[in-house]
Amino acid sequence: MYGIEMKFTVKTLMDKGYSQRKISRELGISRKTVCKYIDQINTSGVIVPKITREKILDKYYELIKEWHDMDLTAVLIHEKLLKEKSLDVSYPSVSRYVRQFKDIETYVPLIAKPGEEGQVDFGYLGKFIKDGKTVKVWVFSMVLSYSRYSYNCLVTDQSVDSFIRCHIKAFEYFGAVPHTAKIDNLKAGVITPNFYEPTIQIQYAEFLKHYNCAPITARVRRGQDKGKVEAGVKYIKSNFLKRIEHTDFYQLEKDLLQWTTTVANKRIHGTIKKIPQQLFVETEKKEMYALPSRRYELFKIEHRKVNNYAHISFKNNFYSVPYNYIGHNLIIKSNENILKIYKDCEMIAIHQICTQNGSFITKDEHLPPEKQSKTIDHYRQKAALIGDHTLMFLEMIIESKPKTWLMTFRGILSLKKHYDYNVINLACKRALDFKIYHYSTVKNICKNRLYLQDKENLNVINAHGFAADLKKYDLLCNNNPNLN
């Protein structure tokens, strides 16, 4: 035994309290040599020799790293080593070796303030008998992140309706609402799993808004983001489910509620070392939002395609949507009275549900601008743009033809295609002079340029009625080929 090994042995015996004489006798070396080693130990200490052993995978280091950089999993890398290199190595060895190429992520504890957050998750409990049928059963769990106070209930599906009903039960169990609800990327709650801009399912988003609660989604494959509720689900399976010796669904519901109230919420929590119920009552509940005055009303969700008339069909009737959605697939929400229509998460139309059949329920603002109903003031503005005489002509036809004035005035407006505003305005003046309120009259005055002739030359009426010569009247009311 020489060198570093001897020095290390001398150091070990010194630490045990051996004297220099006893060390000399024990190792069979002189006291002078023992003193030399002790001087070296006191001066520079002892470096413990590191024994290294070459690993079988070291010779494939570069190849394994290349495969890892190609995003191959440890399973695939193991298969390739067996197939391509005929290497006799176990999967666990490959898995441990690959870890050196992975970036180690440091997790920061997520500390929530009182009332700030409720974490939500589902957990599968197994099969139970409900109404004579065997059904799969999940537990819905909401855990308040600060106090760990929780609510748990059973569901047989993970639909949007079930998801929302469970939230309502949780809020009412708490008697208050957390500021945010942190959910997993469940189909019931999240359409697109994007942590920064998640598209929250329409009804779920509307429901949370009703309760003044905001949705937050956990990042994909980041269980630590909602680790409190995941730990809660594990606790349900390991503590509650282990107690159950029956398969009755309805009895399981009662058992779960009792266990939640008397066991889960009254135990000393393993992480916070406090009783969740006590912490909730004394601190957290007062920081949460109050329940709204009325419970959220659930709607039925369906899909519809917009037809060429810009309507969707619903229960034997047709309801309008903005015309620019023709051909689009839309989402509809309905209850007994209201029909709401959405494009993605934006509500684009709302209707009172019609109790008759075969009706078209159309809102004017959904039509193209040119087909929307116009008010009288709208047409007055158009007439005023042409001129004062045109505006007066409009007022006279409204008075004399209350049911058909619009067709007459639309004819006047159509003259803009062929005549300028001044000509149309003068033609209306000439028609007013003779109290003739017809579109054809104004058109012929424009066409035959009668607005340039003196009124006296066109005077067709005297104190005794119509003059014998009706040609001048024809100039106003009919086409005259001699003047074309």
pLDDT band at 138 (very low <50, low <70, confident <90, very high): very high
Q: What angle do CA 356, 361, 364 make, to 5 degrees?
A: 160
- Which of 91-95, 202-206, 231-235, 385-389 holds the top average pLDDT? 385-389
pLDDT, mean of residues 184-213 = 65
Predicted pLDDT of residue 109: 52
Beta strands in 353-421 (DSSP E): 360-361
Strongest mean pLDDT among 128-132, 185-189, 355-359 = 128-132
Q: What is the pTM of this model?
A: 0.50
Distance, in Å, from the CA atom of 250 to the CA atom of 131, rounded to the nearest integer, reads 9
Q: Tokens in use for 222?
A: 């980041």
Give the number of residues written for the chain: 484
Q: Is 190 helix (H, G, I), strand (E, B) or coil?
A: strand
Amino acid 185: pLDDT: 57
* Nearest-angstrom CA–CA distance, 341 and 247: 42
Residues 6+ apart with CB under 8 A from 369: none
pLDDT given for residue 144 in this prediction? 94
- The predicted model gives 177-202 an average pLDDT of 61
What is the per-residue pLDDT for 462?
Answer: 37
Closest CA to 444 of 409, 412, 417: 412
Predicted local confidence at residue 470, as pLDDT: 44
More confident residue, 201 or 46: 201
> What's the pLDDT at 1?
45
What span, in angstroms and rounded, lies between the C-alpha atoms of 307 and 326? Answer: 6
Mean pLDDT of the chain: 82
Q: What are the b/e assignments for 372-405, b being 16+ CB within 10 Å? A: eeeeeeebeebbeebbebbbebbebbbeeeeeeb
Binned at pLDDT 50, 70 and 90, residue 442 comes out as very high
Residue 474 has pLDDT above 80, yes or no: no
**pLDDT band at 465, cuts 50/70/90?**
very low
pLDDT tens-digit map of 366-415: 988 877 778 899 899 999 999 999 999 999 999 999 988 989 999 999 99
Q: What is the pLDDT of residue 349?
A: 94
Q: Per-residue confidence at 218, pLDDT binned at 50, 70, 90?
A: low
The tokens for 264 are 């889960």
As a whole-number percent, the residues of the chain with pLDDT over 90 amount to: 41
Q: Is 358 left (phi over 0), alpha (psi -120 to 50) or beta?
A: left
Q: Which of 37-41, 255-259, 355-359 has the highest mean pLDDT?
A: 255-259
Q: Tell me the C-alpha distance between 100 and 98, whole Å.
A: 5
pLDDT of residue 480: 47
Q: How confident is the model at residue 110 (pLDDT cuts 50, 70, 90)?
A: low
Q: How far is CA 383 from CA 194, 423, 424, 431, in A?
A: 55, 13, 10, 15
pLDDT at 220: 45
Question: Confidence band (pLDDT; 50, 70, 90) for 422?
Answer: very high
Average pLDDT (198-211) is: 76
Residue 424 pLDDT greater than 90, yes or no: yes
Q: What percent of the chain has pLDDT over 70?
A: 83
Q: Which residue ranges make up each domain of the chain?
A: 3-44, 58-101, 118-184+222-287, 300-371, 376-483
Identify the residue with better confidence: 340 or 272. Answer: 340
| pLDDT, mean of residues 132-147 | 93
Mean pLDDT within 4-9:
72
pLDDT of residue 231: 83
The stretch 261-273 carries a mean pLDDT of: 89
Are the CB atoms for 277 and 316 separated by under 8 Å?
no
| Domain 118-184+222-287, CATH number (from 3.30.420.10, 3.10.290.10, 1.10.443.10, 3.30.70.590) | 3.30.420.10
Q: In the numeric block, which tokens belong to residue 376?
A: 């009288």
Q: Is the pLDDT of residue 227 over 80?
A: no
> Across residues 192-203, what is the average pLDDT?
52
- Residue that wins the pLDDT comparison between 326 and 158: 326
Stretch among 58-72, 84-98, 303-317, 454-468 having the lowest mean pLDDT: 454-468
